Amino acid sequence: MITTADETLLRRAIGIAAAAIAHGDAPYGSLLAGPDGTVLAEAHNTVRRDNDISAHPELKLARWAARELDPGTAARSTMYTSCQPCGMCAGGLVRSGIGRVVYALSTEQLVELNPQSGAWPTVVQDGPALFDEARGPIDAYYRPS
Ligand SMILES: [Zn+2]
């Protein structure tokens, strides 16, 4: 359930997205709010500027949270973001321990507004293979004798 307090912070994330354009960056913005709603960090998309495909604001904030927050604080923190996190960012969010995400535009809505946003090809993945060889480093690390 999205509250009026959520909407206030979501509007701030949309404002970050709008401000990104003035910096020559793509229009995506996010912020991370702590358990009491205090804004802890903000970020916008800098993929072009940094020439870094991972410079999505959600992933930058997930990495920040994993470094800077204790697990209990992260779990009670909320990310507000102008668009629904992509698959890359969703994976980072899970690993960061951030407890909740509130987004404005869904991926489907974004693609309606900008069809190029949904033009990602799938990657061919072949496997599993070479189990007995590949398990060596896993066993050595997790089950040292
Ligand atoms: Zn992303």
* Per-residue confidence in pLDDT tens, the chain, 145 aa: 999 999 999 999 999 999 999 999 999 999 999 999 999 999 999 999 999 999 999 999 999 999 999 999 999 999 999 999 999 999 999 999 999 999 999 999 999 999 988 888 899 999 999 999 999 999 999 998 8
Contact 55, 77 (CB under 8 A): no
The pLDDT value recorded for residue 119 is: 80
Q: How far is the CA of 131 from the centre of ligand 1 (A)?
A: 32
d(CA 74, CA 21): 29
Overall number of domains in the chain = 1
Sign of CA dihedral 6, 8, 12, 17: positive
Q: How far is the CA of 91 from the centre of ligand 1 (A)?
A: 9
Q: How far is the CA of 121 from the centre of ligand 1 (A)?
A: 15
The pLDDT value recorded for residue 87 is: 94
List phi, psi (to 5°) of 106.
-75, 165
Q: How far is the CA of 28 from the centre of ligand 1 (A)?
A: 9
- List the domain range (segments joined by +) for residue 128: 4-142
Burial label for 144, CB within 10 Å (0-12, 13-18, 19+), is exposed
Q: How far is the CA of 53 from the centre of ligand 1 (A)?
A: 9
Q: How far is the CA of 33 from the centre of ligand 1 (A)?
A: 18
Q: How far is the CA of 58 from the centre of ligand 1 (A)?
A: 6
Q: How far is the CA of 126 from the centre of ligand 1 (A)?
A: 24
CATH at 137: 3.40.140.10
3, amino acid identity: T
Q: How far is the CA of 23 from the centre of ligand 1 (A)?
A: 19
Query: Which of 83, 80, 100 lies closest to 10 in space, CA to CA?
Result: 80
